[in-house]
Amino acid sequence: MLTIFFIFDKKIIMENVNVSLVIPVKDEEGTLETLYEKILEVLESLNLSFEILFIDDGSTDRSFDIMKQLSQRDSRVKVVRFRRNFGKAAALSCGFEKAKGEIIITMDADLQDDPKEIPKFIDLINNGYDVVSGWKKDRKDPWSKKIPSKIFNKITAWLTGVNIHDFNCGFKAYRNEVVKNLDIYGELYRYIPALAYSKGFRIGEVVVEHHPRIYGRSKYGWERLIKGFLDLFTVVFLTRFLKRPMHFFGGLGLLFFIVGFLINLGLTIYKYTTGALIGSRPLLLFGVLLMILGVQFLSIGLLGEMINNVTHGRKKEYLISEEIGFE
Ligand code: UDP
Ligand code: MG
């Protein structure tokens, strides 16, 4: 009887985390303490149990020492330190794996996301949404970031069928079940709403206040946009065609074959009816060749993604050097 109680007790303790905050950190020494205080102010007033999971993604400044101190002061703070910088995606995956909360909230460490918005996310999850995505409606970043991002979001919403405005927003909340059932790798975390939607989860959106970056600097530039655009192909492919790659590649192949056949047929008829020469159009040939090559390269890329998706998960994409504050 005693044992049963003990196990029961332990189960309660283990499942007692309502909210896990997952925060990726790369060189954010200027904001961590303030961030921690702001989070406490909000979460303590909500009267629920929580943990704060910092993933130190290879910081080279004092970030790790600060987080370590916070963890020593407060047992709800846990820190995972990566051996080197593996990227925000890896940091989030690691956080998802470690998180014990029923609700998992991700936010940036640079104070651009405001902890006072957290209750809005929790409310929507409690209202039945499985994923709640923040929308930085009034985004405090330079125009060079805002305009491409707007176009990108429109295309993504259209292609994935998920009608939210701000896929890239790092401020999001998830029901535990969602993150434990997702296969994200590389930079695909950005498309979690689309990936989750394809699995039948309900997606919601909430407007959040956004602040300019005051300390440190952004770790991302233009290359992220290009990579993000390429990832969009992957996501559409993975969510729509993964199980039937033939429907994708075969469809494209068929289309090209038919177009090519019609062009040749047309040129042949042209030659026999007018007697004209048809073999001297280098630019046309060049253009056609480039297009076919382009599609082939893209298709090979997608095949690679498919293999990646099937085999991933057998090997972690990050290495941990220290874990602090875990039982
Ligand atoms: N970050 C990270 N690893 C990286 C780059 C960034 O963990 O390689 C973290 C960073 O510390 C911050 C969040 O990811 O908490 C968002 O980064 P940033 O503010 O540079 O992106 P932006 O707001 O400019 O999109
Ligand atoms: Mg930022």
238 and 249, same domain (yes or no): no
223: domain CATH number is 3.90.550.10
Flag whether 5 is in a domain.
no
Determine the structural domain holding residue 261 and report its residue range.
245-305
Structure confidence at residue 281 (pLDDT): 67
Pocket lining: 145 vs ligand 1, CB cutoff 6 Å? no
Flag whether 321 is in a domain.
no
189 and 283, same domain (yes or no): no
pTM of the model: 0.82
210 and 286, same domain (yes or no): no
Structure confidence at residue 267 (pLDDT): 84
Flag whether 29 is in a domain.
yes
CA of 112 to the centre of ligand 2 (A): 6
145 and 233, same domain (yes or no): yes
181 and 111, same domain (yes or no): yes
CA of 213 to the centre of ligand 2 (A): 6
Q: How many domains does the chain have?
A: 2
78 and 145, same domain (yes or no): yes
Flag whether 53 is in a domain.
yes
Flag whether 147 is in a domain.
yes
Q: What is the ipTM of this complex?
A: 0.98
Q: What is the dihedral of CA 51, 55, 61, 63, to 10 degrees?
A: 0
Flag whether 208 is in a domain.
yes
211 and 277, same domain (yes or no): no
Flag whether 192 is in a domain.
yes
| DSSP 8-state class, residue 84 | S
159 and 258, same domain (yes or no): no
Structure confidence at residue 289 (pLDDT): 82
Pocket lining: 225 vs ligand 1, CB cutoff 6 Å? no
208 and 270, same domain (yes or no): no
| pLDDT per 10-residue tile (average), the chain, 327 residues | 38 65 97 97 93 98 98 97 94 94 96 96 96 93 87 92 93 95 79 92 96 83 82 87 80 86 86 79 76 86 81 76 93
Pocket lining: 109 vs ligand 1, CB cutoff 6 Å? yes
Last residue of a domain, one of 187, 221, 242: 242
d(CA 307, CA 30): 41
Structure confidence at residue 312 (pLDDT): 64
Pocket lining: 91 vs ligand 1, CB cutoff 6 Å? yes
Q: Which helix (H) or strand (E) holds 20?
A: strand 19-25
Q: Identify which ligand lies nearest to the alpha carbon of 27.
A: 1
CA of 222 to the centre of ligand 1 (A): 14
From the list 134, 168, 171, the residue with the least C-alpha distance to 153 is 168
